[in-house]
């Protein structure tokens, strides 16, 4: 008899569903991809329907369902926190309590109701692993290691904000726990808020902004000292204590006590979409440095108390690829593997794994050298019939290339000519990164391509960097320490022979030209520095010569590998820009229709859906009501 486990994450952000059968991942997807609501927190009805359909099973065939946290324990934390900070937070209390009293503390009943709507006629066993156990399980069980230290760092689950665990065989043991409100994730989120970005969404913007800060600028040094002396006390083991006089997230409706922050740093909170100054860049760098210090210390502690040479990671902070690089550079572990869906969406997969291996005591099978994530290509695929149906619905016009060689030769020629191409193939990725099946691709050698993509295609801030997708066998030609990185979760640096100018000196020189009456550089200074050609592959080289690399493997990414290899034959360059197929505020595209409509509302030149190539100039004019607008994130 098969053990079929459905895992669910929901009701906070990034709701998702995952299905495993006898310990093997069958399917996983975020609800946002179906509803087209970014970071959709609703019960993942569409994602559940998809994973059941992918497996060919009904709800009543499930062995168990696992929910990714313990709602009653989270409710306990809320009550105790409000009590501890009384009378602060009464407005937040009044807002939160009705929802909890009406729904969330009766989670089991609410889930049963949702299951019946999905066709359940019997009460399938329910498991509720703790939030951080779900994260830990998502990191350890699919990893290629028999044993590993497990580091999970995020905002908060029930009580835990950071845990260090040890995984061996089918077992996970939590060894250390840092508790709310002292949270590295919430510390970083507070700076995300103060710098004018959206919490639980804009943290990657903060990470991307940080290299624009100047490390030896007295202002950066001062900011870092103020963070360490006033806001957070970092202990030698990586645990932290936050000065809660400065934070409002425990009981309030905002992240910071903003007047105190403004007095501390001598700058106003940046309003969203407003000018970015030198001070903002330097503050972004300062908190990035502090975060790196915390996670490296945590990694050292994980090594010391587990004795393992392997590290696996999950939780939202594990998506900070710059900090991940610092752990790798510290040479604490021989091997590091990070769950590509490290955030709450991945908790659905971890919950299913925890139910199977811990709750049901089923043995674990692992494959040394190969993880179980299948490239994270765990979402839906669409047939030629479905592509043709989309074409008929919109009178879309395409050229058909049934042969993959002919297709990649044609598309690589477009890319070499400076064209921007949407690339839609096979199963959708699970997690926040587009890894070659729902991607926008372009030539990294074009000096203005980063700006073109940001402003004309993605409709987002021009300073944000792009990742290179490079043939795995050629990565060492372009990048230092180019180890396998199929999930885009580590940065590396461009090798010196490809560099053009010492960017730090150029930035300092530019800063020196600013008149003394203008102590802060305006947002224009970002673009002045950005437009300097830093390397022979400028569109994927960040200001500090770093790049968030994706290694493309022939077995794992056969079509993307074939395309880049064709581009290499044509140009001698074996990498492409790879960014997610969406515009700002929109979830990554899921269906052929999503892809074609996204293509039509941007200045993209071509879109490839399966073996069909759509050229913009040949498409019909569409009524404006077909173009959905998305809230900026």
DSSP H helices in 313-396? 321-329, 344-354, 384-394
- Do 592 and 524 share a structural domain? no
- Final residue before a domain boundary, out of 479, 508, 533: 533
3-state secondary structure 524-592: HHHHHHHCCCCECCHHHCCCCCEEECEEECCCCCHHHHHHHHHHHHHHCCCEEEEEECCCCCCCCCCCH
Residue 573 lies in a domain: yes
Residues 405 and 528 in one domain: no
185 vs 503, higher pLDDT: 185
Mean pLDDT of 305-334: 97
Q: Do residue 189 and residue 303 come from a single domain? A: yes
Which CATH number does the domain housing residue 58 bear? 3.30.420.40
Regarding whether 134 and 93 lie in a shared domain, the answer is yes
Residue 626 has pLDDT above 90, yes or no: no
**pLDDT value at 142 more than 50:** yes
- pLDDT, residue 506, reads 36
Statement to judge: residues 461 and 446 lie in one domain: yes
Higher pLDDT, 200 or 84: 200
Residues 493 and 459 in one domain: yes
Is residue 479, in this structure, part of any structural domain at all? yes
**pLDDT interval class at 238 (50, 70, 90):** very high
Mean pLDDT, residues 541-545 taken together:
90
Q: What pLDDT shows up at residue 497?
A: 94
Better pLDDT: 326 or 511: 326
Classify 18 as helix, strand or coil. Answer: strand
| Confidence at residue 507, expressed as pLDDT on a 0 to 100 scale | 36
- pLDDT tens profile 161-180: 999 999 999 999 999 999 99
Q: What is the pTM of this model?
A: 0.93
Position 429 in a domain:
yes
pLDDT in tens, 55-113: 999 999 999 999 999 987 777 777 777 666 666 655 666 666 666 555 566 788 889 99
Gap between the Cα atoms of 89 and 474, Å rounded: 55
Range in 228-237, 280-289, 334-343, 363-372 the model is least confident about: 363-372
State percent of the chain over pLDDT 90. 81
In a domain, 176, yes or no: no
Model confidence pLDDT, tens digit, residues 1-43: 899 999 999 998 899 999 999 999 999 999 999 999 999 999 9
Is residue 524 very low, low, confident or very high in pLDDT (cuts 50, 70, 90)? very low
Are 480 and 563 found together in one domain? yes
Spatial distance between the Cα atoms of 305 and 310, rounded to a whole number of angstroms: 13
What's residue 523's pLDDT? 42
For the cut 90, the answer to whether the pLDDT of residue 514 exceeds it is: no
Q: How confident is the model at residue 237 (pLDDT cuts 50, 70, 90)?
A: very high
Q: Which H or E element spans position 262? A: helix 258-265
| % of the chain with per-residue pLDDT over 70 | 91
Q: Structurally, how many domains does the chain consist of?
A: 4
Q: Would residue 617 count as lying in a domain? A: yes
Q: Specify whether 564 is located in the same domain as 457.
A: yes
Q: Domain span at residue 425?
A: 384-498+536-621
Cα–Cα distance for residue pair 580/589, rounded to 1 Å = 9
482 shares a domain with 402: yes
Q: Which of 332, 337, 335 is closest to 297 using CA atoms?
A: 332
The lowest-confidence range among 158-172, 426-440, 457-471 is 457-471
* Cβ pair 345, 430 in contact under 8 A: yes
Summarize the confidence of residues 418-435 as an average pLDDT: 98
Task: Tell me, yes or no, whether 352 and 389 share the same domain.
Answer: no
pLDDT for 328 beyond 90? yes
Q: Which residues contact 111 (CB under 8 A, 6 or more apart)?
A: 8, 65, 67, 126
pLDDT band at 441 (very low <50, low <70, confident <90, very high): very high
How wide is the angle at C-alpha 92 spanned by C-alphas 91 and 94, nearest 5°?
65
- Of 26-30, 81-85, 214-218, 470-474, give the lowest mean pLDDT range: 81-85
Residue 95 is predicted with a pLDDT of 64
Could you tell me if 458 and 310 lie in one domain? no
Query: What does the mean pLDDT of the chain come to?
Result: 91
Predicted confidence at residue 324, as pLDDT, reads: 97
276, 318: one domain = yes
């Amino acid at each position: 008899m098969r053990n079929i486990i459905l895992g669910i994450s929901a009701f906070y952000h990034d709701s998702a569903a995952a299905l495993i059968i006898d310990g093997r991942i069958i399917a996983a997807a975020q609800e946002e991809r179906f509803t087209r609501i970014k970071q959709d927190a609703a019960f993942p009805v569409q994602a559940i329907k998809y994973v059941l359909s992918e497996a060919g099973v009904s709800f009543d065939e499930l062995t168990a369902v696992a929910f990714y946290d313990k709602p009653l324990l989270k409710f306990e934390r809320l009550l105790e926190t409000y009590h501890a900070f009384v009378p602060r937070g009464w407005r937040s209390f009044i807002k939160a309590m009705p929802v909890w009293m009406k729904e969330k503390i009766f989670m089991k009943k609410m889930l049963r109701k949702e299951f019946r709507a999905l066709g359940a006629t019997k009460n399938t066993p329910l498991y509720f692993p703790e939030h951080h156990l779900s994260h830990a399980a998502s990191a350890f069980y699919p990893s290629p290691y028999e044993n590993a230290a497990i580091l999970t760092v995020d905002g908060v689950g029930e009580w835990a904000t950071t845990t260090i665990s040890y995984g061996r065989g089918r077992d996970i043991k939590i060894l250390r726990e840092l508790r709310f409100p002292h949270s590295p994730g919430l510390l970083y989120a507070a700076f995300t808020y103060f710098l004018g970005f959206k919490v639980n969404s804009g943290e990657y913007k903060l990470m991307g902004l940080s290299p624009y800060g100047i490390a030896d600028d007295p202002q950066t040094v001062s900011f870092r000292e103020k963070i360490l002396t006033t806001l957070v006390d970092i202990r030698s083991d990586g645990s932290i204590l936050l000065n809660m006089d400065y934070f409002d997230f425990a009981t309030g409706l905002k992240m910071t006590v903003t007047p105190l922050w403004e007095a501390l740093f001598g700058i106003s909170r940046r309003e969203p979409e407003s000018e970015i100054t030198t001070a903002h860049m330097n503050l972004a760098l300062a908190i990035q440095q502090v975060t790196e210090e915390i996670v490296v210390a945590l990694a050292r502690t994980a090594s010391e108390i587990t004795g393992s040479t392997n590290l696996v990671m999950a939780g939202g902070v594990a998506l900070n690829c710059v900090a991940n690089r610092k752990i790798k550079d510290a040479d604490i572990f021989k091997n590091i593997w990070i769950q590509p869906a490290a955030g709450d969406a991945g908790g659905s997969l971890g919950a299913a794994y925890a139910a199977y291996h811990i709750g049901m005591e089923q043995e674990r099978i692992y494959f040394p050298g190969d993880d179980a994530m299948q490239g994270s290509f765990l979402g839906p695929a669409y047939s030629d019939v479905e592509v043709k149906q989309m074409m008929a619905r919109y009178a879309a016009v395409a050229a058909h290339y049934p042969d993959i060689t002919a297709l990649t030769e044609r598309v690589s020629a477009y890319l070499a000519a400076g064209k921007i191409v949407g690339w839609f193939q096979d199963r959708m990725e699970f997690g926040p990164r587009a890894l070659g099946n729902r991607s926008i691709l372009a030539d990294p050698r074009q000096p203005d391509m980063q700006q073109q993509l940001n402003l004309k295609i993605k409709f987002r801030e021009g300073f944000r960097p792009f990742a290179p997708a490079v043939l795995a066998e050629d990565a060492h030609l372009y990048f230092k320490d180019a180890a396998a990185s199929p999930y885009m979760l580590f940065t590396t640096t461009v090798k010196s022979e490809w560099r053009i100018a010492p960017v730090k000196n150029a930035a300092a020189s530019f800063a020196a030209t600013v008149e003394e009456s203008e102590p802060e550089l305006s947002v224009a200074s970002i673009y002045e520095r950005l437009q300097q050609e830093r390397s022979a592959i400028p569109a994927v080289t960040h200001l500090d010569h770093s790049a968030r690399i994706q290694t493309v493997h022939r077995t794992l990414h056969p079509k993307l590998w074939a395309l880049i290899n064709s581009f290499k034959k044509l140009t001698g360059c074996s990498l492409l820009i790879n960014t997610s197929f969406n515009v700002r505020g929109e979830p990554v595209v899921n269906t052929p229709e999503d892809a074609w409509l996204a293509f039509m509302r941007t200045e993209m030149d071509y879109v490839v859906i399966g073996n069909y190539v759509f050229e913009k100039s040949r498409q019909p004019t569409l009524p404006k009501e077909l173009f959905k607008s998305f809230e900026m994130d």
